[in-house]
Structure 1
Amino acid sequence: MQLLPARPLILALSIAAALSACGGSDSDQPLLIPAAPADQGAAEVAPVPTVTAFVDTAATNQRGDAHFATLSTNAAVRLLGGFLNIWKPLTEIVDAGVSAPAIDGFPAVVPSTWSGVPGDGTPDGKVVNAAIHQANIDYVIKATTNRTPEQAVQAYLDDRRGKAYSISDGMGPLTAAWRASTQQTTTITSVAADATTKVYNDGGNNTGVSGSANPTFGDVVDLTNLIGNNASTEPSKRFFKYARPFRWSTSVQLLPALVPAKSSTPPTDGGFTSGHSAEATRVAVAMAYAVPERFQEMLSRGLELGEMRIIAGMHSPLDVLSGRILGQASAAANLADPANQAKKAAAVAQAHATLMAATNTTAATFASYAQSGTTANDRFADYATNKANYLRRSTYGFPQIAAANAPAVVPKGAEVLLETRLPYLDQGQRRVVLKTTALPSGYPVMDDAEGWGRLNLFAAADGYASFSGNVTIVMDAAKGGFNAADRWRNDISGSGKLIKQGTGTLKLTGANTWTGGTELTAGTLQGDSVAAFGAGDVYNSGGTLVANAPAALKLSGKYTQLSGNTTLELDVGGAAAGSQGTLMVGGTATIAGGTLRIKFANGYKPKAGDVLNVITAGSLKGRFGTITVDGFGTVTANYSGNALSLTLG
C-alpha cells in the first residue's frame, strides 16, 4: 500500500455545511439534547470505626514494655489479636502485684520467660485451630523443600542486609539514583563461602545518611527512619509466644547459610510477628510515599521480602502477613502524626528534585522514566505479575474461617497512605477507595476491628473499585504528577455516577460495569478498554473524551456531546487492529457540535481514498462542528442514521 506523506490538516465543518453532507439532511428537525445522567445522590463515605484507633495509641507499642504487653495495653498486640483464634498462649502473672482480667480463661499478662520450643514439655500455649496451624507450617515445609538456588541467595541477602537497602531495588530504573542519593551502603553483597558456619552482619548504614549531613536527600532518609517509630514487633512476639516454623517441624529446611544466625535462646525468639516483614512493609510504604511513581512496585518489593522469610524457613505465612498488617498501621501512624507533616512534605519535594536531576528527567518525563524498566532489568516491570503476587502474599492461600462477606471498614488515618499516590482526591475519597478495594473478610488474623488486615494498597493505587452516589474527580494539570494525569486499572462496579472536572487527564482501563453514567465537564477522560465507561450514559459538556481501546470503545447507553469546548478523540488503530479506537454507542449518539479528532495509533497510516468507519450507534443525530484527521487536508464526512464514516482525500 502506497502511503501519502503526512500533511498539515485542519478541516472545519460548520453545522450548516455538515447537514448537507453525505447521508442527507435533518435540518428541518430540531436537535433535542438529552439531559445529563441523573444525579445519584451523596457520595459514599467510609466512617472511622468507633473502636480504639491504632494511630491514636501507637505509642503504647514499645520494645521496652514487651514483657508486660497485653491486648488492652499494647496497640500492636491488640491489632494482631485475631491470632488468638489460631493459637492461644498460656500466660502467668509475672509479679505478684500485677493483676489483669483474664482473656478467654487465660490471664492477660505475658510471662518474662517461655520455652519457645514446641513439645519440650513446657506449656507455652495451645493450638486452637489445628487445620490453620498445620497449613501454616506445611506451607513452610513445601516452600523450603522447593527452594531454588536463586531464591536461596535472595533469602539470605534479605535476611542479613539492612531491610531498607535490600528493598530499594524495588525502585527499578531509579535504584542507582536512589542508592546514590541516600548514600546507602551494605557490606553484604553475596553469600560468603563460609556463611554456613559464620554469621555475617551488615556493617552498612541501611537507610542512608540522614538530616543536614545529606543536604540533597536527608529529608527523604529522615522519612524512611521516622516511619519506624512505635513499630516494634517484640511485644507481639512476647505476648503470643508462637515458635518459628523450624521449631515446629524438623521437615522445615532452614536455609543452611542462615543456620549460624539462628537464635540459641528460643524464649526470646518468637515467630509471630515477623520483624523483617513489618519493617520491609513500613519502609516500602515510606519509599512509595516519597516516590509514588513506583508505589505498587515498592509495595510489591516489601511483601516479597516477607515471602523470603518463609522461603528461608525463618517464618511462617501467618508471621509474615501479620507483619504486613503491623507495618501498614505503623507507617500510617507516623505519616498521620502532625509532628511529621513538614518532614514528609519536604521529603516528597526533595525526592523528586534530586531524582529528576540524577536521571536527567523533568516533571513531565519522570513518571515514564520510573516505569521504563523491562522484565530483563526490573523484576517488578510486569504489572499483572505484581498484582497476582501481591494478592497471593496478602493471604497465602489460607481458607476463610469466618464470614466471607463482612462489610469493609477503613482504619482511622489509613487514608494518609494514598496521599501522594492519589493527590487529587480528598481524604474522604481516599478512604472510600480503600473501602472499595479492600480484601474479602474471613481470613485468619486479618479481620481486626479497625480494618488494617484487609487493606489492599496495591489495588487502592488503581483508584476506585466501585462507585456509589456522585463521584466527583477534580484534577489540576498545573500541579503536575498524578494531578495532571493518572490511570485507574480496577474493574469499577456500582450504581454511582462519575463526574470528571478539572484540567487533568484520567484514563480508565478496567472491565467496568457501573450504571450511573459519566459526565465530563473539563479536562480529558480516556477509555483504554472496551468497557471503560461502564454501563451508563456518557455526557460530554466541556472536555475531551478519548477512545483508545484495543477494539471499539462500547458505550452501553447514550452518548451526548454539546457544542463549544468539547472534543471526541478517536485513536484509530487501523484495519489490522479491527475497530481499534472507534466508538460504538448502544443508544442514541447526539452530537450538538464540538470537535471530532481522528488520530492514528500503532503506526497505522491510511492512504487517500480510504474510508474510516469511526462511529456506530443505535441512532446518530446531529453533526460535529469541526472534524480534524491527522495527516490529511481533505476529508468527507458521511453521516447516516446510525453511523459516521470519513473518506480521506
Structure 2
Amino acid sequence: MHHATGLRRLPLVIAIGAVLALAGCGGSDHDSRADTVVAIPAPPADQGAADTAPVPAVLAFVDTAATNQRGDARYATLATNAGVRVLGGMLDIWKPLTEIVDAGVTAPAVDGFPAVVNSAWTGVPNDGTNGGTIVNAAVHNANIDYVVKATASRTAEQTLMAYLDDRRGKGYSTTEGFGPLTAAWRTATRQTTSITGMPADATTVKYEDSGNNNGVGGAANADFGMVVDLVNSMGNNGSTEPAKRFYKYARPYRWSSAVQVVPALEPAKSTTPPTDGGFTSGHSAEATRNAIGMAYVVPERYQELVGRGLELGESRILAGMHSPLDVISGRVQAQAVAAANLIAAGATTRAAAVAQAHTTLMKLTNTTAATFPSYAASGTVANDRFADYATSKANYLRRMTYGLPRIGSTTAPAVVPKGAEVLLETRLPYLSDAQRRVVLKTTAIASGYPVLDDAEGWGRLNLFAAAEGYAVFTGNVVLSMDAARGGFNAADRWRNDISGSGKLVKGGTGALALGGNNSWTGGTQVDGGTLEAQSATAFGTGDVYVAASGTLVSNAPGALAVAGQYTQLTGAVLELRLGAAQQGRINVGGTATIGGGTLRVKLQNGFRPAAGDTLTVLGAKSLKGKFESITVEGFTTVTPIYTETGLQLRLGT
C-alpha cells in the first residue's frame, strides 16, 4: 500500500450500480440519483520524512551510570558522577558549600563551581543550611512553603499512607499500582512486609520492615524469579547518596519549623543534620525505579504503576520528610537509572521476564492472552485509586513540577536522552526505537521548571503521556500492528491530543483506537487492520482514506467529524457503533466517496431502534458511490436511502 514513497496514487474510476446495494442489504434501493461512474480520489498527500529525536551530543547517563556509586559519595561531583550530573539544575537554586578537605584530591570545576570532596562536612553549621547559599530565593521559598501547606492540611488517609510509604519496603508499596493484579503479583513474587499499619507507639518506636521488599528472585522462585530479578536490577547504580552529599540541601523541617512531620515518623528522623541531605529523595527514586521495572514487564498497568511511583514521592512531602525539589529530582534520576539498567539487562533477559510475568499472572487470574488486558483494567474507583484516567493524568502532571516557578526558557525544544526509548519498549511494541523516541519528544512537558532542564532531557519526560502514543505528527507517521503477536500489538488506544501537519498511515492486522481532541492536518490512511475513533475529532482535520484491507470504526460519543474528504475502497469496512443522540454516526465536511466495501452498523448503550425506524448514519457535503454490503445488528432487512448529501437506513424485521 501507498504511504512513505512520496508518490501520489492516481484516482481510480469505479462504476457503481444499484445492484451492489441490493445484493448486500436485501431491500430495495431508494436513490434519487442515477447510477454514476465514481472517480476515487487519491490518498492524502505524503507529508515527507518522519520526525526524529536525535541523541543529544552530551555525555550520556546510560553510558556512565556505573559512576554513581554509594561508596564513592565522598568524591562525587558533576564531572565524576552521573547521578549528580543529571541533577545539575539544582545549582540554579542552591549553591552547596564547596570545600576540599582531603589533600591531594583534585577534580575539574563544573559550571563555575570547584570540585567538592564530601568526605566530611566538618565545620558546617548544624542549622540545616549546611553552609550553602540560596541562589534563587523565589524557588526555594516556594519549595519549602509547599511542604508547610501540605503538612498542615493532610488528611488521616494521607498520614497513614505517608507512614506506610516511609517504613514499608518501597517495592511492596509500589505494587498498589497493579490494581486488580496486586494480589496476584504479590503471590507470584512472594512479597512480604511486616509494616501493615501504624502502631500506637510509633511516635516513640522506630519500626523497620522485616519483609523482603520485591520478593523472591532467581531459581528459588521458578515461576517468577526472572521477573523479580529484573525489578531488583533497577536499583543497580541507583544510590542517591552521592547527590545528597554533593548538594547538601536540607530536609524541609530543618528549613522551617512550620513543617509538620508525621508524628509517627519522628523516631525516623536523623540526629545528624549535616549529613542528612534531603536532595535527592531516596524513597522517591526507589519507588520510581521499581515502578518502571514493574511497568516494563506488565505494561497493561504502565500508567498506573508510574503514577504510583510519583504518588509515593508526594507521600514524602506529606510526611514532612522531603520537599518537591527532593522528590522531583528522585524521579529524574530514577528514570535515567532504570533506562540504563533495562539496557544493561539485555533484550533476551527483558523478553524472558515479560513472558514469565504474563504466563504466571494469567494463570493466577484465570485469564488468557485475550482477556488479561481487560482484567488488568477492570478496577473501579471504589477498589483501584488509579482507575479514573482523567484524575490519574492530572495527578501525574501536577507531581512532575508541583507548580514551582519557572526560571528558564519556556519554549526550549524537548530533547530525548540516549537509550530512553527502552522505557516504552513493551508499552508501544509496534513502534520502532526511533518512533518511540519521537513519542517521548512530543509528549515531554514544557521547559523552564527548576531542575528539569537537564542537557539530556530526563527531567521533561512525561511517561504517563508517552504511554498514550504521539502528541504531534510530523511527516509520515507509519505504523504496522501484528495482531498475531498479541497484547498491544493486537489492540491499543491513544488518548493524547495530537496536533501537527503530519499524516498517519495505519497498517498491519491489529487495532488502534484514537480518543484525543486531535487536530493534525495531514490526513489519515488505513492500509490494514482497524482504526477506531473514540472522540468526535479522532482523525484530525484532514482527509480520511480507507484502503481495501482496512477497517474504520466510529465509536465517538457523538457524531464523528471528518473535516476533509472520506474515501472508502472495495474490500474496506466502515463500522458505525450507534447509540442515542447521534452517537457513532459520521459527518463528512467534504466529499464522501464510497467505492464499494461494507457498511456495518452495531448498536450499543441500550440503543434499540424498532422495525420501520430510519437511521441517519452518514452526512456529507457531497456523497458519491455506494456500499456493496450493509448490515445492521439485529435486523435482517435494511433498506439504504442514498441522497446527494447522505445516507439513511430504513430498518425492516
Question: TM class by shorter-chain length?
Answer: over 0.9
Residue 594 of structure 1: aligned partner = 597
Stretch deviating more after TM superposition (53-62 or 262-271): 262-271
Stretch deviating more after TM superposition (78-87 or 108-117): 108-117
1:622 equivalent among 625, 628, 641: 625
Instruction: Provide the rounded CA distance (Å) in 2 between the counterparts of 1:359 and 1:102.
Output: 56
Query: Cα offset for 1:105?
Result: 5.2
Structure-2-length-normalised TM-score: 0.95
Residue 57 of structure 2: aligned partner = 50
Residue 162 of structure 2: aligned partner = 155
Query: Cα offset for 1:116?
Result: 10
Instruction: Provide the rounded CA distance (Å) in 2 between the counterparts of 1:45 and 1:186.
Output: 45
- The ranges of structure 1 where at least 4 consecutive aligned residues each deviate by more than 3 angstroms after the TM superposition are 16-20, 101-106, 115-123
Residue 569 of structure 2: aligned partner = 562
User: Contact 2:33–2:643 (CA<8 Å) still a contact in 1?
Assistant: no
Unmatched runs of 5 consecutive residues or more in structure 2: 1-16
1:288 equivalent among 266, 289, 295: 295
Aligned: 1:374 with 2:377: no
What secondary structure sits across from 1:30 in the alignment?
strand
Stretch deviating more after TM superposition (340-349 or 96-105): 96-105
User: Contact 2:21–2:29 (CA<8 Å) still a contact in 1?
Assistant: no
Aligned: 1:497 with 2:503: yes
Query: Cα offset for 1:629?
Result: 1.0
Instruction: Provide the rounded CA distance (Å) in 2 between the counterparts of 1:49 and 1:493.
Output: 24
What secondary structure sits across from 1:618 in the alignment?
strand
Instruction: Provide the rounded CA distance (Å) in 1 between the counterparts of 2:290 and 2:559.
Output: 43
Structure-1-length-normalised TM-score: 0.95
- Percentage identity across paired residues of the two chains: 69
Q: Deviations over 1:387-424 (max 9, x none)?
A: 00000000001121111110000000000000000000
Residue 441 of structure 1: aligned partner = 447
2:33 equivalent among 25, 38, 42: 25
Query: Cα offset for 1:30?
Result: 1.9
Residue 145 of structure 1: aligned partner = 152
Instruction: Provide the rounded CA distance (Å) in 2 between the counterparts of 1:550 and 1:130.
Output: 48
Instruction: Provide the rounded CA distance (Å) in 2 between the counterparts of 1:179 and 1:555.
Output: 47
Residue 422 of structure 2: aligned partner = 416
Query: Cα offset for 1:543?
Result: 0.8
Unmatched runs of 5 consecutive residues or more in structure 1: 1-11
Matched letter for residue 439 of structure 2 = V
Residue 430 of structure 1: aligned partner = 436
Aligned: 1:114 with 2:121: yes
Residue 95 of structure 1: aligned partner = 102
User: Contact 1:51–1:450 (CA<8 Å) still a contact in 2?
Assistant: yes
1:540-619 to structure 2, matched below 5 A, reads 540-541=546-547, 542-563=549-570, 565-573=571-579, 577-619=580-622
Matched letter for residue 497 of structure 2 = D
What secondary structure sits across from 1:331 in the alignment?
helix
Matched letter for residue 647 of structure 2 = L
Aligned: 1:36 with 2:34: no
Query: Cα offset for 1:371?
Result: 0.5
Matched letter for residue 346 of structure 1 = A
User: 1:376 and 1:121, CA in 2 relative to 1: closer, same or farther beyond 3 A?
Assistant: closer
Would you say how many aligned residue pairs link Structure 1 and Structure 2?
632
User: Contact 1:233–1:274 (CA<8 Å) still a contact in 2?
Assistant: yes
1:385 equivalent among 391, 411, 435: 391
Query: Cα offset for 1:25?
Result: 3.4
Residue 325 of structure 1: aligned partner = 332
1:225-264 to structure 2, matched below 5 A, reads 225-264=232-271
User: 1:153 and 1:560, CA in 2 relative to 1: closer, same or farther beyond 3 A?
Assistant: same
Instruction: Provide the rounded CA distance (Å) in 2 between the counterparts of 1:467 and 1:180.
Output: 42
Instruction: Provide the rounded CA distance (Å) in 2 between the counterparts of 1:551 and 1:134.
Output: 47
What secondary structure sits across from 1:300 in the alignment?
helix
Instruction: Provide the rounded CA distance (Å) in 1 between the counterparts of 2:208 and 2:518.
Output: 50
Instruction: Provide the rounded CA distance (Å) in 2 between the counterparts of 1:401 and 1:358.
Output: 50
Instruction: Provide the rounded CA distance (Å) in 2 between the counterparts of 1:17 and 1:605.
Output: 24
Q: Deviations over 1:105-136 (max 9, x none)?
A: 54212332227986749862100000100111
Matched letter for residue 591 of structure 2 = T
Residue 464 of structure 1: aligned partner = 470
Instruction: Provide the rounded CA distance (Å) in 2 between the counterparts of 1:634 and 1:123.
Output: 82
Query: Cα offset for 1:222?
Result: 0.2
Residue 5 of structure 1: aligned partner = none
User: Contact 1:116–1:269 (CA<8 Å) still a contact in 2?
Assistant: no
What secondary structure sits across from 2:327 in the alignment?
helix
User: 1:579 and 1:121, CA in 2 relative to 1: closer, same or farther beyond 3 A?
Assistant: closer
Over aligned residue pairs, what C-alpha RMSD do you find?
1.6
Residue 7 of structure 2: aligned partner = none
User: Contact 1:217–1:351 (CA<8 Å) still a contact in 2?
Assistant: yes
Matched letter for residue 643 of structure 1 = G
Q: Deviations over 1:339-361 (max 9, x none)?
A: 43322211100110000000000
User: 1:121 and 1:81, CA in 2 relative to 1: closer, same or farther beyond 3 A?
Assistant: closer
Residue 8 of structure 2: aligned partner = none
